[in-house]
Amino acid sequence: MDTQPSLPLAPAWSWRLPRPHAWGVVALLVALLVASPLLAVLGIALHPEDDIWAHLVSTVLAGYVATTVLLALGVGAGVLVIGVGTAWLITMCTFPGRRLFSWALLLPLAMPTYLAAYAYTELLEYAGPLQALLRQTFGWQTKSAYWFPEIRSLGGAMTFMTLVLYPYVYLLARAAFLAQSASLLEVGRSLGRGPWRCFFTLALPLARPAIVVGLALALMETLNDFGTVDFFAVQTFTVGIYRVWFGMNNAPGAAQLATLLMAFVLLLVALERLARQRQRYHHTSARVQSAPLFRLRGAAAGGALLACALPIALGFAVPAGLLASYALDVRPGPGSAALPSTVGNSLGVSLLAALACVGVGTLLAYAVRLRPTAFVHAASRVASVGYAVPGSVLAVGVMIPAARLDNALDALLRQTLGISTGLLLSGTVAALVFAYTARFLALGFGTMEAGLVKITPNMDHAARSLGCTAGRVLRRVHVPLLRGSLLTAGLLVFVDAMKELPMTLILRPFNFTTLATHVYEYASAERFRLAAPAALAIVASGLIPVILLSRGIAQSRVERVPQAGLTESNQEAIPLRDSLHK
């Protein structure tokens, strides 16, 4: 057993206090539970029926991989430029509308990718109003008379995914920039570096862990997406997985593809970690005043305004406006009577998912901090990779452990007591919440980990030396310090859970509809307009969390205060978390 404690032993080391390694064990068990659907998928992959690879390799596989890589690169570059760029402008500069933009830039988070895709297709396709207007204006008769970009294409998927996914990067980059010490940049400036060099050599590297978390979230959502790419007829890896599983009815083949996708994501995460292994990101500055804002004037102010307004308009205002205009036309029909209970279901399940993800995410992130062994690290990474797995595949993965547990319990009680319990977990809201946790843990864990990293371990040491147990340190020190992160994590999960579709469809209880399934049922019949009220409700219910989120970041400046008061030298003296597990 690894006995090296990561933190000095507290003096009050008594029978009722959980030892640090107990945290490791609990974290491992929880990680295992959350990862069980992924392990189930792995299990299916290990039992091949007939070999799908020869066929895939000789036909479509190269296309799937190329399309997926291009999509990921395009979306990755797009969300980085928009997310980091706007975050930096908002944090460092002042220009007209800045205060409004600072929260409005998060609005596209409330817009499900598939809704943006539907809305833009309605607007921009050949039959849509824009092209019709162009034809009318210029007298073009046919499709071949002029050129217009094909909306349902790889480029379209890239564009619209970027427009709704950049807020992940914006959110985390802004929080990171805000938390950066003003004095650091002042030092940079006083040493003669210009604003651009300061940005690229100081601010950006320091914000890297947070930006990477945001980028990873955006990319994982890109990889797991089926609705949008299917609608745009873009053949990604995920489309391939669906085709093999539900078309060719070859579950092991599809599970192998899904495993490959997971391995790829884990590899990327590991490579990024490796690249910044030796770097530390704890804040040590005692200075709390914010950096002076750079006043932009004239063309620069106009440019900044446009740079912030465009993503909001394209990622939110245009699609939401279209939905609203459709919703106004919809007369109450047969489906609208059930809408209140549908809203209730959506809100309830999303809330439970948010609580579960924040709880598990905090536990895992703290366990990693306490016991940064390779094992705990790996377990928490694997548990969070569900975010990159296509929803339907993960849904089947969720069924397996849930049904096994149910049936084992049932069989046991039938044998011993002669009673049948039936399925206790499968087909219930609890199974659905479990599935959401397996999927969205990355949001809870990533946000909490990014938050914890910023708190210097000296805080833990001080509290422990005063007799606090590890649990008490978490409760009394970290949780109050990380209120903002907890809120961010919970709200991110909530907003995402409101949009979740494929797992809900497959795993839901009888007669159970959410807003997303309601929209799907109409949209899949090309009756999107009838679903507009429900679609608008998804967006609207995402708005409140988004506004809370932006308030949360604004308060993060306050959060920084108690972290202060430590000098460079005493930080050096203490082994830091990353150096321990080497």
- Subset of 343-402 contacting another protein (CB under 8 A): 345, 348, 352, 392, 395-396, 399-400
* Burial classification of residue 347, based on how many CB atoms lie within 10 Å of its CB (0-12 exposed, 13-18 middle, 19 or more buried): middle
Count Cβ atoms below 10 Å from residue 277 Cβ, excluding itself: 10
d(C-alpha 74, C-alpha 85), whole Å: 16
**Residue 243 C-beta: closest distance to another protein, Å:** 6
Q: Is 325 in the site for another protein (CB under 8 A)?
A: no
DSSP 235-277: --HHHHHHIIIIIS--HHHHHHHHHHHHHHHHHHHHHHHHHTT
Cα–Cα distance for residue pair 48/29, rounded to 1 Å: 28
Nearer to another protein, 201 or 420 (CB): 420
Which of 368-394 are b and which e, b meaning 16 or more Cβ less than 10 Å from the residue's Cβ? bbbbbbeebbebbbbbbbbbbbbbbbb
Report, in Å, the least distance between residue 489 CB and another protein: 21
Point out which span in 105-113, 145-153, 192-200, 441-449 binds another protein (CB under 8 A). 145-153
Contacts (CB under 8 A) with another protein, residues 411-450: 420, 422-430, 433
**Quick count: other Cβ atoms within 10 Å of Cβ 499?**
26
Query: Of 85, 73, 75, whose CA–CA distance to 203 is shortest?
Result: 85
- Find residue 94's DSSP bridge partners: 295
Cα dihedral value 492, 498, 503, 509, nearest 10: 130
Which residues, at least 6 apart from 171, have a Cβ–Cβ distance to it below 8 Å?
83, 106, 109, 214, 488, 492, 549, 553
Q: Which residues contact 250 (CB under 8 A, 6 or more apart)?
A: 49, 50, 52, 244
The minimum distance between CB 121 and another protein, in angstroms, equals: 9
Which CB sits closer to another protein, 67 or 550? 67
What whole-number distance in Å separates Cα of residue 308 and Cα of residue 96? 11
Long-range contacts of range 194-201, CB-CB < 8 Å, 24 or more positions apart?
Answer: 195/92, 195/294, 199/88
Site mask for another protein (CB under 8 A), range 504-533, x = bound = -xxxxxxxxx---x---x--xxxx-x----
Hey, what are 259's tokens?
């495993």
Closest separation between CB of residue 90 and another protein, Å? Answer: 38
Region binding another protein by CB under 8 A among candidate stretches 483-491, 502-510, 540-548, 569-577: 502-510
**Closest to another protein by CB, 279 or 524:** 524
Asked if 434 and 402 count as a contact pair (C-beta separation under 8 A), the reply is yes
Q: Binders of another protein among 106-135, rule CB under 8 A?
A: 126-127
CB proximity list for 326: less than 8 A, separation 6 or greater: 528, 529, 532
Number of residues that bind another protein (CB under 8 A): 70
- Quick note: the x/- pattern for another protein over 268-307, rule CB under 8 A, is ----------------------------------------
Output the smallest distance, CB 420 to another protein, in A: 8
Q: What is the DSSP letter of 424?
A: S
Element containing residue 510 per DSSP (H, E): none
Q: Taking CB under 8 A as the rule, which mask of x and - marks residues 26-55 in contact with another protein?
A: -----------------------------x
Instruction: Give min distance, CB of 161 to another protein, in A.
Output: 17
Closer residue to another protein (CB): 298 or 332: 332
Whether 345 and 538 have beta carbons less than 8 Å apart is answered as no
**Would you state the structure tokens that stand for residue 95, as one six-digit string?**
């220009």
Dig out the tokens for 127 from the structure: 């039959």
Report 156-215 residues binding another protein (CB under 8 A). Answer: none
Minimum distance from residue 60 beta carbon to another protein (Å): 5
- 535 closest CA partner among 218, 222, 319, 344: 319
Binding mask 528-557 for another protein (x = CB under 8 A): -x----------------------------
Q: How far is the CB of 250 from another protein (least distance, A)?
A: 8
Nearer to another protein, 298 or 334 (CB): 334
- DSSP code at position 281: -
Shorter beta-carbon distance to another protein: residue 259 or 563: 259
Binding mask 230-269 for another protein (x = CB under 8 A): xxxx-x---x--xx-xxxxx-x------------------
| Residue with Cβ nearer another protein (292 or 422) | 422
Q: At closest approach, how far in Å is the CB of 307 from another protein?
A: 32
Shortest distance (Å) from residue 558 CB to another protein: 31
Cβ proximity to another protein: between 243 and 560 the closer is: 243
Residues 383 and 39: their CA atoms lie apart, in Å, by: 10
Q: Which residues bind another protein (CB under 8 A)?
A: 55-56, 58-60, 63, 126-127, 141-143, 150, 152-153, 230-233, 235, 239, 242-243, 245-249, 251, 334-335, 341, 345, 348, 352, 392, 395-396, 399-400, 403, 406-407, 410, 420, 422-430, 433, 505-513, 517, 521, 524-527, 529
